[in-house]
Structures are given as C-alpha cells and as structure tokens.
Chains A and B, each alone.
Chain A
Amino acid sequence: MAEKNKNLSRREFLKTSGIAAGTLVGGGLIGGLVGYNAKSTDTKPAEPSGGGGKDDFRINRGLMFFQNPAEFKVLAHATERIFPEDDLGPGAMGLGVPYFIDNQLAGNYGSNSREYMQGPFYKGEPTQGYQTPLTRAELFRTGIAVMQEEANKRFDKDFTEIEDEQKDEILTDLQKDKITMKGTDSSFFFKLLRSATLEGAYADPIYNGNVDMAAWKMKDFPGHQMSYINEIEDEDFKKIDPKSISSMQH
C-alpha cells in the first residue's frame, strides 16, 4: 500500500482516538448504548447468506433501514475494505455485516434511544466524547453520502466502482479528518463505521452478521458454551466447534 494511503497505525490511532492508555479489560473504542432487543430464538432462521464476496455483492435479503440499494452498497463496499475477504475467510460482505448494520440502524442503536440527546450541543474537547445532535442513523446516511461524493469528485465514478486503493484513500481521509462532514468530524463517523463493522462480523449470528459463524471460526472463538470447568486447567489449546445462542433449548 502506498504510504499516503496507509491508514493510521495503532500507535498513531491511540494518540488521536482517545483509546485508553493501559491494558484494557474489554472496553471498545466507541462505547455504544443498548441496541437491539432480543429476538426470538426458538425458530431456526432461514439459511442466511452474506450476499456473496466483494466482487459480486448482491442484495439478497430484506432491508429494514436503507431504502436506496445504491446507498446500501456503498456501505457494503466500505465495510469490506475495513474487514476484507482473504485466505483466512470471508470479509464483511460475505459475513453479512451490511445487513447487521442496516438492522441496527433501524433500531435503538440507530435512534440513540438510550443516549443523552438533549441540547444544547457544543463541539467540546475530544476527551468529552460524542457531542453531535446527529443520531447514528443520520451519521451513517451522511457518511455514506460523503463517501459517494468523494468518489464522484476524485475519480468520476461511484464508490462501488473505484479501485480498492481508491476506496482506502477516501476511508483514510475520513479517518484523518481530512473530509468535511455536517454536524461531526469525519473521524468520528469513521470510528463508528469501523466499530460497527467489527461488531457485525463478530456478534452472534442472531444479529444477522457473522454468517455461518465464519468469523468465530477464523478466530477460534467457540461462541456460546455452557462451561469450561473441565478444560480450564488443561495445557493444550482447545479447538471447539462454535455455537450460537440460537442453538439453546429452553
């Protein structure tokens, strides 16, 4: 990757992002608030599919939030650059991450229903966190529009049609606050996009990402297991077939 397109390393990122110094015990970059309510898990969902890989992304499931397929596809392509398909396994598209984000934006997450959204609003210091009146749903729509505009402006094409390096250039500029966005810093939107991508990849499949638990399999995370009391003292590494919460019988 050319130097100018290289996105921020973790070290640079720490300096500008306010990730806590120190060894975190958990603790995501963008703490969110409560999102989705429980879905019923007593019926097995139809076989989901991520909608194909990066070269052939087709919308093959219903959408709850996005109305315009073109908008949704810009989101899909952006998430795929953040978490791309490789020899280890599927990327964001193959994992259904765009559907996860769509569903989340249609719910409590998108409407910030458990966040303090009363005015007055002031920009504040970086250490004071989220200070925009825009909800996450509005931030995503604005961010997607900006990515599309930048692609049009810089390359005379849609975001979904430009080369991977060109997409990375736009994403990196968002991350480095080099693009103006309404109501927020572009870096703030980028953090949200990055977090949501990882959340969709690795959340339980009941949230409509992590198709076939493929992301868990890549990481060797066994998902929902009742107990490790019989393995916790063993020396050898345990490869355990993952399970979703939806596998539970009540």
Chain B
Amino acid sequence: MAKTMDKVDVVTVGVGWTGGIVAAECAKAGLKVRGLERGKDRGTKDFTMIHDEYRYAVRYDLMQDLSKETITFRNTRKQRALPMRQLGSFLLGEGLGGAGTHWNGMVFRFFPYDFEIKTMTDKRYGKDKLSSDYLLRDWGITYDELEPYYDKFEKTVGVSGEDKNPFAGKRSSDYPTPPMKKSPLLKKFEKTSTDLGYHPYMIPSANLSEQYENPDGSTINACQYCGFCERFGCEYGAKSSPEVTVLPTAKKTGNYDVVFDANVVEILKQGDKVTGVKYVDTQTSEEFVQPADIVVLTSYVMNNAKLLMVSEIGEQYDPDTGKGSLGRNYCYQLGPGATGYYDEQMNTFMGAGALGMLFDDLNADNFDHSDLDFIHGSMLMLTQTGKRPIETNPVPSDVPTWGAEFKKASIQNYTRTLSVGGQAASMPHKENYLSLDSTYKDKYGVPLLSLTYNFTDQDRNLHKYLTQKAVEVSEKMGAKKTEAAAPIEDYDIVPYQSTHNTGGTIMGADPETSVVNNYLQHWDMDNLFVVGAGNFSHNSGRNPTGTVGALAYRCADGILQYHKKGGSLV
C-alpha cells in the first residue's frame, strides 16, 4: 500500500536545469514546490577530487546507473530492439543537477529559422526540398517570443560571450560577462576562418570569465581552465550548474524541498486532470504517492517520454499511419569534422568545457541550399576543452591500433593534434521515434523506453559537405596532415557521439502532431507540463541547453499563469 505524502502546489519529476528553473520561479512566486530526484544530493563540496579521468570520464561516476534503468535500441523496425547495456553514444544524467552537473557549458540560442523551419524552407526552396518522410515542422513559437526567456536564462547562468555573430537573432541585451580568454590555438582558428571569409566568435560559455552574481543573488566563480569540465563537476563552482544557481534560489524561499532516492514510476490521473505521481524509494523499494495541483516532467528526454507512455497520457506515434504525437520527431546530431596533425607541441591538456571559437556561416539557412541535397547545417568550431590521456590517443588512419607503432604515434600526437569539428543539425524522419519496449523492464518493473533510430540521407549529405569544409579549414590552419571524419553509415550506439538527444514530446500549435503547446502544457491535461529538449521538433546545429533553459523559463511562466486562472493557456 503506497504511503501518501502531503500535497504540494507543484511537483517536478527530476531536478536538473529544467526542474531547478521551474522550482526557482514557482517558489519565488510563493508556490509550494517539491522536486523528486531518483539520484543523490551533490554539489561543489563533492568535487574536490574531481581531476580523475578514469573515474569520471571513463567509468562515468556521475551518470546514470544502467543496472536500474536503461533504454532499448534498434536501427530499424525490422530489427529486435536490445538494451543499451552500457553507456556510450550519449551520457544520461542522474542525481542533483542532472546532466547540468557534467555539461561543458556551451550556451547557445537557436536561430530564428529553427522555429519556423517548415515555413521558411517551403518559401525559399519549395515544398519538395525534403521528401514527406521528413516530419519537418514549425515549433509553434518564434524566436522573438522566446527571446526574453533566452535572456533570462543567460543572466541566471552569467554566460560569458561576445555579440559578434552576424547570423544570430536579435538580442535584447549583451552577454552578462565578457568572453573567456583567447588562447593561441583559438587565435589560430580565428585567423584562418577569417581569412577564408567566415565570421568566427567566442563560444558563449557557462564557465565564467569572471566572478558574477546573478539576478537571484547566486555567485558563480571564475573559471580556472583546469581541463576537467565535461563529464566532471566543477570544484570551483565556476561552471554554472543547477546546484550553484537555481536550486539555492529555490531553497532560500522556504517553499522548496527535494526528495532524493525517489524514482517516479507513474503519473496519476483522474478524468482530464493529473493528480500527482507515484514514486519508489530506491533504497527501501517502498511506494509513495505525491499529490500535486500541477505536475511538471523535468527529467531527461527519454524519461519524460517514457512516463507519458506508461501512464497512457496522449497518443503513441505510429510510423505506419503517421498518427499520434507521443514519441515522434526523435532527433540527434552528427559530428562532421577533420583532425589536423602538427609538428609543434601545443598546450592541449589545458582548457575549459566551453573554451573555443566557432562560426555559423555554414549553419541553419545562413548559406544557399538551392544546389545542395540537404537543408540546415552545422557550426564549425575549434575547442580547447582539455585533452586527457586515456581517451586521447590520436593516430593517423594507417597506423595500427596497438603495439609499438601505436604507442609511439599516440604519444607523439597527444599534444600535436587539433580538430575542427561540428555539431550538425538533425532532421526528423518518420522512422525515427520513441516507444515502449515490449520485453525489457527497469528495476521497478516498468517497461524500458525503446529508441528506433538511424541516420538518413539528409544526415549523410550534410555530414559529407560540412566535413569537406572542416578539412579546408584544418589544411589552411597549417596542419602537416589532415584527416577527414569517416562518412556516416548506420547510427551506432556504442561510441560516444553527443548527449544532444531531442524530440519525443514535441511542442507545437497543433494537438494532432505535438504533445505540448508553446507553454509546454500538455494538450490533454491542463495541469501537466513537460519540458526539455524533448520539446524540440528537430535539432539545430549547436548545443541545446540554452534553448532548454529558455523553454524552462517559458514553462514556469505558463505554470504561474495556469495557477492563477486554470485552463488551456493557448
């Protein structure tokens, strides 16, 4: 018999960036908020011994324990979906802060084009630019409508950047703090890309260039460029994370608490309203019911979708008929790029998660696609995140992968390679979607989420084009030898690629094809909100967190409006 907790105004499922933002805004407004977090408490005090590549970067100490829960995966519907038994392609978060604890901290805005991609593509290239198998859609919101929320997220984080990108949407204010230090490697990339006619600028960073106090009174410290950022927590409190910003903001109101070891297994409902959630204490296996006036799904892409599916809220997408919105438009990203080998040693072991420069001349619709067999594009960037020795063993493709020759080459090249890389946009395809697995279950007896995903021709063409451009940049930078990224074939869940998974619970103007409206309010249940990168209808050619943060502020706005007046907000 499940034990019933005291009722709260708002419960969030998961406590990372989105759960933290919603909590801070609602608690400041006087609502009682409770965060349910399946993992443990953690913060800066736990990161003093963080410079440990093996424990954190290789064995993923801060990330999801897959023995309890994972997903299943297949490339196509013809295959049998099998569990992702170990982490690889993307790194799922767990614990306070979620993946916001161990992100690199690149904070971008998507392009105005992204939000109206269908309309703008049709207008410029005609309706047949992509086949109807690609589920391209407008987002039901414009860049201008989202701009104030972007602004708010950037001020919370204290983003260090420079407003020098000619392709960016309009900003209502400059970045809160100046850009990071420009290392010689960045200058090399800057000069080359400028010479080639591109427009490079510093990556907007959540590793701050100087100490900063945000509007809520949280202080974020100055980055030390120690080279241990992605996959690690920051021992200096210099990488903006939920633990050093929105969570203290929520806590100091007195209206917020977090229950740890609380794994939500079901959203409870009655008629056309949700009434709360059911969770399991992961330590004792006891079941609890948490009643709430408003339920907000703030876990990662995968579990936001899974919880709706197991709770039978909304219609599951069916690739045969195209009907149903839940699970559709799952997208990812591609890694076009080139690696250059140099003679001189460089300080590649130094750096910060978001230390780098990029240009957007080949991103979004910033260049003419009339004669190209794809849409959208990718940033091209050079980053200096801190190369670490276990995972950095670069050797040219004709060198063996082990033995004497490998040892010599990998040691030689550790400080002598630079990569020009991208994060290429991913377009939705009817065969790429999320559903529930029929065979495998998590530790709590709930079916696993199943991912059906493969790269498409659009992806392959885009990857090939951008890779060629990256090769040109690398060669012009003076590399004695440049090797292009291999062409992409089938998506493989084994090697790390990117933790930029998107879609499955998309937003839109049309209840038939989207799960939530543009306040991230569920179409079928007025008091249920679902927020995160799952709301993206496609994935852009840059990092998603800036947009996730903006949507979370938008969502909080919607929750406060709903709390006052009820009903559908659109």
Contacts and interface: CB of A to CB of B under 8 A. Distances in A.
A127 B494 contact: yes
A83 interface: yes
Interface stretch (A5-13, A63-71, A141-149): A5-13
**Max chain B CB contacts within 10 Å: which of A15, A19, A127, A223?**
A127
A129 B494 contact: yes
Contacts of A29: 494-495
A128 to B, nearest CB: 5
Contacts of B400: 6-10
Contact of A84 (B69, B226, B404, B494): B404
Given A10-B397, A231-B347, A238-B347, A220 B415 contact: yes
B404 A86 contact: yes
Interface in A112-130: 112-118, 120, 122, 124-130
A173 to B, nearest CB: 14
A245 interface: yes
Interface string B474-514: 00000000000111111111111100000000000000000
Interface string A221-246: 11111111101111101100000010
A198 interface: yes
A45 interface: no
A82 interface: yes
Contacts of B279: none
Contacts of B494: 18, 29-31, 126-127, 129-130
A74 interface: no
B497 A22 contact: yes
A82 B403 contact: yes
A26 interface: yes
Contacts of B338: 23
Contacts of B54: 35-36, 199, 203-204, 207
Interface in A22-40: 22-36, 38
A21 B85 contact: no
B395 A22 contact: no
Interface string B354-369: 0100000000000000
Nearest to A240: B349
Contacts of B334: 22
B446 interface: no
A11 B396 CA distance: 8
A118 B58 contact: no
B335 A21 contact: yes
| Chain A binding surface SS class | loop
B337 interface: yes
A140 interface: no
Contacts of A22: 334-337, 421, 463, 467, 485-486, 488, 497
Contact of A203 (B53, B83, B419): B53
A220 B49 contact: no
A203 B57 CA distance: 11
A25 B383 contact: yes
Nearest to B84: A129
Nearest to A238: B347
**Interface bin, chain B:** 35 or more
Contact of A10 (B222, B224, B395, B441): B395
A9 to B, nearest CB: 5
Interface string B44-86: 0000110111110111110101110110011100011011111
Nearest to A15: B486
**Interface bin, chain A:** 35 or more
Contact of A199 (B58, B349, B489, B490): B58
B350 interface: yes
A9 B398 contact: yes
Contacts of B38: none
Contact of B230 (A1, A26, A30, A224): A26
A197 B339 CA distance: 25
A228 B408 CA distance: 27
Interface in B221-276: 222-227, 230-231
Contact of B60 (A33, A112, A231): A33
Interface of B: 48-49, 51-55, 57-61, 63, 65-67, 69-70, 73-75, 79-80, 82-89, 104, 181-184, 222-227, 230-231, 334-339, 344-347, 349-351, 355, 383, 385, 388-393, 395-404, 407-408, 411, 414-415, 419-421, 439-441, 463, 467, 470, 485-497
Given A25-B230, A27-B391, 5 more contacts: A19-B495, A26-B388, A128-B84, A202-B390, A203-B53
Interface of A: 1, 6-11, 13-15, 18-36, 38, 41, 81-84, 86, 88, 91, 108-109, 112-118, 120, 122, 124-131, 168, 171, 175, 194, 197-199, 202-204, 206-207, 215-216, 218-229, 231-235, 237-238, 245, 248, 250
23 contacts: A10-B396, A11-B397, A18-B494, A21-B486, A22-B486, A24-B496, A27-B497, A28-B496, A38-B49, A81-B403, A83-B402, A116-B69, A128-B493, A131-B82, A131-B85, A168-B403, A171-B402, A218-B411, A222-B349, A224-B52, A227-B225, A229-B224, A237-B344
